[in-house]
Amino acid sequence: MKVDAVAVGPLDLTSGLALLQTSQQEGFPWLSANLLDKHGRPLFQPVHIKKIGKIKAGIIGLTGAPLHLPADVTLAEWRTVLPELIDKTSRQCDILILLSSLSPAENQEIAQQFPALHLILAADQHSGNMNPQQVNNTLITQTEAQGKYQGILTIDWNTSGRWGQAKEEELTGLRNRIGALDWQLQRMQQRKDLHQPAYLEKIEQVVRDRKIVEQQVKSLEKTLAPNPAGRQEAPCSFSYNFLALQGSMPKSPEIESIITEIKQQITTLHSGKISQDIDFPFLGHTGCVSCHPDQTSFWQETRHAKAYQTLQRKEQALNLDCLPCHITTSPGFSLSRDQLLSLPPALQTVGCENCHSGPGISHASNPVKFQMTKQVEEKICLSCHTKERDNTFEYQKKKELIACPAG
Ligand code: HEC
Ligand code: HEC
Ligand code: HEC
Ligand code: HEC
């Protein structure tokens, strides 16, 4: 995949500066206007200027605050670097774009302050896909983290240098709707039951809908056409779409082999860290079975009981990113790295204490004095069944599948 510009983000610095600088020397187009060396000089190119047809686009990169800055690197505030940069670049370019991993609030503030900036492509970890939002004359938009979506923004730019308001937005909405209908049609036409009469009728309905929307677009376009006197040019417009990465998309063998290699490296790095004399706040299911045999044998048959084995099967049982959801722990506890890598067998499973209000050591020694909670609230499940890991989670339905029997 060819890319024109990538702003250095906070997570890109995790593996150190050297890696980024090597890839930069090999031609990877990193940008950052605010990562500076010890003399206050930018470590990366601050701006990239690209000619697209007749239009000159200026692309600026800004890096959001990382957890740890590598030695000898400082992160300048956007307030100190942006004003001059925007001033200079906007004189050379027709459209000005900012790639920003700053917080949503900071991006808003930047948009308010710099009308010369036309587009902010944001990269906030938590905002997900964000439909373009206009602040003054700046659009702010972003796609969800980790490459789960491809964001496509098509811009029709002219020398007016300003985004259209209301009517253009309506037009954009309609064009997006056509895009969505096309997408739907394309998917429908790939179905095996395509030739079923009922299905054909559905397709025809979509085609009819598309015609109506197309008519609306045409008439709206007419009202927006530049007026013959040519006094004022029509404003610029855009349309957008977020394409989800489908599970059915083919895997890239090249990337897969890199991932396999990284996973093996993690395993090698963490093997041999196992220690016998570490304490754990949890008892483990082996400490409950004597008094709750029926619930234990029921639980043994659920997938929770095999969650750690799943990681072993995938050779990921030493991966600190996976362990917290595939072992015995409970919300509010965060086991240390050493604990995670030294789990005794009784905790190598999503166990009783994950669901029943946490550590059961005192309950097991005196069940009447120290009680455990029977009901399991939804938020406990959601601590692991996140949208990302299980987007079909329905509390009532799934609870029935795992609720231990009375006994
Ligand atoms: C020595 C026997 C014993 C052990 C060991 C034991 N429990 Fe219990 N458990 C009991 C008794 C007795 C009750 C009922 C207490 C009461 O109602 O006052 C109980 C109640 C419970 C309840 C609440 C059930 C309800 O109907 O409200 C849960 C949940 C529970 N135990 C989970 C566990 C878990 C998890 C473990 C292991 C960490 C465990 N127990 C270990 C004896 C034990
Ligand atoms: C500590 C993390 C964790 C908690 C808490 C948790 N689960 Fe799970 N759950 C998992 C993991 C991991 C799997 C997959 C295990 C495997 O197959 O390796 C799973 C699998 C399941 C499955 C089987 C697969 C599926 O999705 O149909 C159900 C059902 C389920 N969980 C329901 C629940 C419910 C309901 C709760 C709350 C009452 C809950 N879980 C709490 C981690 C958790
Ligand atoms: C935020 C909690 C969480 C984290 C972190 C997590 N998982 Fe899971 N995992 C789950 C849940 C919940 C399920 C069950 C989802 C379902 O099938 O409904 C699951 C299911 C799985 C399954 C499918 C089991 C099967 O047989 O179908 C595999 C494989 C898996 N996880 C591997 C991993 C690996 C490898 C990692 C680390 C890279 C990881 N998980 C990190 C929560 C998590
Ligand atoms: C994924 C979550 C989950 C895990 C893991 C789990 N339970 Fe449960 N358990 C439940 C739910 C849900 C119920 C039903 C609660 C209700 O009726 O509202 C339940 C009910 C119980 C009850 C009360 C039964 C009754 O009604 O008298 C006991 C006791 C119990 N579990 C013990 C255990 C023990 C022991 C283990 C481990 C071997 C375990 N649970 C593992 C979710 C879990």
CATH architecture of 253-402: Orthogonal Bundle (1.10)
Instruction: Report yes or no: 137 and 113 within 8 Å, Cβ to Cβ.
Output: no
C-beta 326 within 6 A of ligand 4: no
For residue 136, the model assigns a pLDDT of 79
Q: Is the pTM of this model over 0.75?
A: no
Of all residues in the chain, the percent with pLDDT exceeding 90 is 62
For residue 167, the model assigns a pLDDT of 64
Least confident of 69-83, 265-279, 380-394: 265-279
Question: Whose CA is closest to atom 14 on ligand 4?
Answer: 403
CA of 355 to the centre of ligand 1 (A): 13
Question: Whose CA is closest to atom 1 on ligand 2?
Answer: 325
Question: Whose CA is closest to atom 41 on ligand 3?
Answer: 322
CA distance 354 to 370: 17
pLDDT band at residue 161 using 50, 70 and 90 as cut-offs: confident
Q: Which residues pair with 251 in a beta bridge?
A: none
- Ligand 1, atom nearest to 352 Cα: 35
C-beta 145 within 6 A of ligand 3: no
Residue range 1-147, CATH number: 3.60.21.10
Checking if the pLDDT of 315 tops 70, the result is yes
**Average of per-residue pLDDT across 140-166:** 87
Ligand number nearest CA of 398 is 2
> Which one has a higher pLDDT value, 106 or 230?
106
Instruction: Report yes or no: 214 and 178 within 8 Å, Cβ to Cβ.
Output: yes
**Average of per-residue pLDDT across 129-138:** 88
CA of 403 to the centre of ligand 1 (A): 15
Q: Identify which of 263, 270, 306, 310 to mutate to test ligand 3's pocket (most ligand atoms within 8 A of the CB).
A: 310
C-beta 356 within 6 A of ligand 1: yes
For residue 166, the model assigns a pLDDT of 56
Which ranges in the chain are annotated with CATH 1.10.1130.10?
Answer: 253-402
Rounded mean pLDDT of the chain? 90
Digit-coded pLDDT (tens) for 173-228: 778 888 988 998 888 888 777 778 888 888 888 898 898 888 878 877 776 666 55
For residue 226, the model assigns a pLDDT of 60
**Average of per-residue pLDDT across 30-58:** 95
Question: Whose CA is closest to atom 31 on ligand 1?
Answer: 372
Checking if the pLDDT of 306 tops 70, the result is yes
Ligand number nearest CA of 357 is 1
For residue 298, the model assigns a pLDDT of 97
**Chain centroid to CA 83:** 30
The single-letter DSSP state of residue 283 is -
Instruction: Report yes or no: 76 and 34 within 8 Å, Cβ to Cβ.
Output: yes
- Ligand 4, atom nearest to 292 Cα: 35
Q: Identify which of 353, 355, 393, 400 to mutate to test ligand 4's pocket (most ligand atoms within 8 A of the CB).
A: 355
Least confident of 81-90, 217-226, 385-394: 217-226
Ligand number nearest CA of 316 is 3
The single-letter DSSP state of residue 70 is P
Which ranges in the chain are annotated with CATH 3.60.21.10?
Answer: 1-147
Assign 3-state DSSP to the chain and report helix, strand, coil percentages, each to 5: 40, 15, 45
159-173, 219-233, 242-256, 294-308: which is most confident: 294-308
Buried b (16+ CB within 10 A) or exposed e, 22-43: eebeeeebbbbbbbbeeeeebb
CA of 249 to the centre of ligand 3 (A): 20
Which amino acid would we find at residue 46?
Answer: P
C-beta 290 within 6 A of ligand 1: yes
Checking if the pLDDT of 352 tops 90, the result is yes
For residue 225, the model assigns a pLDDT of 65
